[in-house]
Amino acid sequence: MITLTLAGAAVLLPVAACSSEEPAPGQVPQAATVAPSEEPAEASAHPFTGKPYDELKPVLAVKIENTAAGKPQMGLKSADIVYVEQVEAGLTRLMAIFSSKLPAKVGPVRSARISDLHIAPMFGKPAFSYSGAQSLMLPLIAEASLYDVGDTRNPGAYFRQPGRFAPYNLFANTKPLLAKAPKASKAKDIGFTFGDAPAEGGVDKKAYTVKWPAARFTFAWSEQRKLWMIWQDGKKDMAAEGGQLGAPTIVIQYTKTERSQFHDKNDSYTPLVHTTGKGTAIVLRDGKAFKARWERESEKDGTTFTTESGEPMNFAPGQVWVALASRKPVIP
């Protein structure tokens, strides 16, 4: 692990005003059932989740729609890591990383963005599922550190889900995706550490809100489930398999976000999210918010997170959501 010299401290963002559906601090809905207790991190803990594993498996990254038209999404409950990335018009799109668990189906699968190509090398050379990209990006995808299993390269893995409308009805069967990438990298150390929370520095939080220009996520702590339940734009973020999405660890990673050379048909520019370098972060776990710092030296390196005192910022074992946020929103 890399030891950081801290140059400053992150600042906790205030919780945004909640809509009628969104939980207010101190009024978080609780589940009726109690989830199994978290497993302690061990030497053989999975590098993506901190949970025990039998063998390390290939990595599959899938680009998934994240607007109301594409919800509820399928497969996210099985992801090891979910990245939230800003796209055109201030909206967000997800890149879900699968390895320890593989759902049968995922979707809606959407088009790739330039920021994906900068995140992927951290995982070696994963299989990458997406549904097209701007023509100017295609040469970059061909050269990127990934195995292209998109819908044009692997059409047999994709299908149109009944009851949904295009382009939000394209889904994929995961086994055929990985079958087309037999040499996809297996899960490896990407800088995450798991274990007990820091003894000091945490601030009690019932809910925490993160904003993009045209999207808002609220993560609300459920003491019974030991999860941060996820709300988007004032509504519960539901899974197609049933139930509300939630994770034991949420990372708000503040990054430099600027215009890329790409834009959509409406001339709305595509943001480029810089995930190398260093910066500040907020880590949500165990009902607390911790100030942290992150560093990623190069695109082939993992991202390390440390506390204000320079110790590893441990995550709670289980799924991790990484919200790539910018302090200065990009104007589309």
Q: Where are the domains of the chain?
A: 60-325
Confidence of residue 10 (pLDDT cuts 50, 70, 90): very low
Split at pLDDT 50, 70, 90, the class of 6 is very low
If pLDDT is split at 50, 70 and 90, which confidence band does 90 have?
Answer: confident
Residues sharing a CB contact under 8 Å with residue 102, sequence separation 6 or more, in sequence order: 57, 60, 78, 174, 175, 178
Residue-level pLDDT at 183:
98
Global pTM value = 0.85
Residues 6+ apart with CB under 8 A from 77: 103, 239, 241, 243, 245
- Label residues 29-47 b or e (16+ Cβ within 10 Å = b): eebeeeeeeeeebeeebbb
Structure tokens, 52: 């025990």
Domain covering 60-325 in this structure, CATH number: 3.50.90.10
Pull the structure tokens for residue 69: 């038209």
CA distances from 248 to 1, 50, 74, 245 (A): 23, 11, 19, 11
Span 156-215, pLDDT tens digits: 999 999 999 999 999 999 999 999 999 999 999 999 999 999 988 899 999 999 999 999
DSSP 163: T
Backbone φ, ψ for residue 322 (5° rounding): -120, 110
Q: pLDDT per residue over 278-305, tens digit each?
A: 999 999 999 999 999 999 999 999 999 9
